[in-house]
Structure 1
């Protein structure tokens, strides 16, 4: 039988174990919540840091890509210019969407829309459409059923052809006859392949004043590499005779500077390096006199272009873009 003291102690005794258990659970909950909050803060901060770094990296790459694209048009792409550019950056990758245009006389016409992608992640495939030429063609195939449209670009323009004067071909393009089938109110461009190399000044004097001289085809070929094939406009290199505003210019220094700038890079499968080595001839320097012109691209109204028909220095002529004068 319990004594009065024991009964009194039991009456006022408090069980501390439930209170301790609740305290421990509360402490654990607070610890978990604190860990979650800290983790979320770290994720948010890391996210902002990543997005900032991603934006900075892509901005640097896009500027470099855009400048490289413009440089490429300085030595290639006859009578074609980079127009409006829209840069779209994503996560680790981005795209430059741009329009291309060309001049027919003094009139600019659109020549299609194109995309160049870029990334700072080496494992992601980075397209190089403009340099390998694939994106320029409406269709590229040897299938005889589609051969009729294989010679057009994605905007529906006929792709111009070029014939090197050191090679001999069974047939030469002579599209002057086609001019008779085109309305005199139309504008057109034509590639002219010469019978031999000429200097820049000689070419300027050879082309009639009423015809717009758009582009010079420079002989950048090692004679050992010539293989009796006709080159299309995406496989030739040279200088633009007019700038992006349609004004006449002397592009020789820009052409040389662009080649020197990229000659030690891997841009465009070392095309810059090959051109530099050919034009410098092992002398370590390209001079204006080293630039031999073996063809041009000209444009204007149909009547003006017909004045070139009987010029003896023209070995071949290919029609390119055609558009309304107004």
Structure 2
């Protein structure tokens, strides 16, 4: 190779221009990518946020409806929402109305995310303490007694009657008490006896299989105590003093709605519907609801009026509070 061809003369100005153009092109591409990514992420965020709010609205409404038929003498007081960039928390307060006095009964808290997921933050449930050999260990929640119910077709080791406790409660207090009946009654029959102090009706939602299971559990000698239905597990509806109110119809409407589109409650709603209607053989209407218990509230002297009611098979004390 000749010396004159050994080195090709370089155009330094041209190289500078090329490098500058490459930098500009690279910066332009980066900026365009950032803008596109920002637009896409913003769009996905708003889509996720919209889906989250729609899901939250639907689930909270379903929870509201379901809480209207489960939980003895428990009602929702309101829901508050707390939002963050990627999630939202819905906190629902529950109360009991005992003799007109509201008693806090815990909270239900759910977390929703823009990914379309939801999660229930569970609260502590009812608990009790005692010896394994005790005939009965009353349950407590929020510092108050939890009512128990006894199904009329289940045989228990022992059926308890807490009406004697009314003699030891101050007359300035108001209390709630669950009365379990000896059989199923119509709403009209129940009202004729307890209307003055009814707060809530317990509806028979048991199937024959449920009754057999409870009988089996209560007949098991390995368990010294009876297997009852606590207030958290009971289904029913509240009493309403308004002359045009139809709480039983509301119970039926909620059940029918949940049966067709009840989200996580749909399977349970279907089971209850089938149990009440005997798998479609009985029409679901107020007159066909079997009321197997009630919650009554008032002063101790008010509830003592039912000491001689022959329909009462069992009585368990619930929450108590000062009337004033």
Please tell me the TM-score bracket, short chain as reference: 0.7 to 0.9
Residue number in structure 2 paired with 1:67:
61
* Partner Cα distance (1:297, 1:128) in 2: 28
TM-score (norm 1): 0.83
Is the CA contact 2:96–2:103 (under 8 Å) kept in the aligned structure 1?
yes
Residue number in structure 2 paired with 1:252:
248
Residue number in structure 2 paired with 1:5:
none
Structure 1 residues without counterparts, runs of 5 or longer? 1-14, 130-134
Q: How does 1:76-155 map to 2 (within 5 A)?
A: 76-90=70-84, 93-119=87-113, 121=115, 126-127=119-120, 129=122, 135=123, 137-139=125-127, 144=132, 151-153=139-141, 155=142
Is the CA contact 2:126–2:146 (under 8 Å) kept in the aligned structure 1?
no
Structure 2 residues without counterparts, runs of 5 or longer? 1-8, 216-226
Following TM superposition, by how much is the alpha carbon of 1:114 offset from its aligned partner in structure 2, in angstroms?
A: 2.3
Write out per-residue CA displacement over residues 17-54 of structure 1, whole angstroms, 9 at most, x where no aligned residue: 11111111111111121122112212221232122112
Instruction: Go from structure 1 to structure 2 and tell me whether the alpha carbon gap of 1:120 and 1:268 turns closer, same or farther (over 3 Å shift).
Output: farther
Residue number in structure 2 paired with 1:32:
26
Residue number in structure 2 paired with 1:9:
none
Residue number in structure 2 paired with 1:170:
157
Following TM superposition, by how much is the alpha carbon of 1:208 offset from its aligned partner in structure 2, in angstroms?
A: 5.4
Q: Larger deviation: 167-176 or 63-72? A: 167-176
Residue number in structure 1 paired with 2:274:
277
Following TM superposition, by how much is the alpha carbon of 1:173 offset from its aligned partner in structure 2, in angstroms?
A: 2.0
Write out per-residue CA displacement over residues 232-291 of structure 1, whole angstroms, 9 at most, x where no aligned residue: 11222111113xxx8574311111111111214553371100111112222374122220
From 234, 246, 262, the counterpart of 2:258: 262
Residue number in structure 1 paired with 2:291:
293
From 210, 219, 222, the counterpart of 2:207: 222
TM-score (norm 2): 0.83
From 180, 186, 204, the counterpart of 1:193: 180
Following TM superposition, by how much is the alpha carbon of 1:183 offset from its aligned partner in structure 2, in angstroms?
A: 0.9
Instruction: Go from structure 1 to structure 2 and tell me whether the alpha carbon gap of 1:88 and 1:105 turns closer, same or farther (over 3 Å shift).
Output: same
Instruction: Go from structure 1 to structure 2 and tell me whether the alpha carbon gap of 1:256 and 1:62 turns closer, same or farther (over 3 Å shift).
Output: same
Is the CA contact 1:138–1:156 (under 8 Å) kept in the aligned structure 2?
no
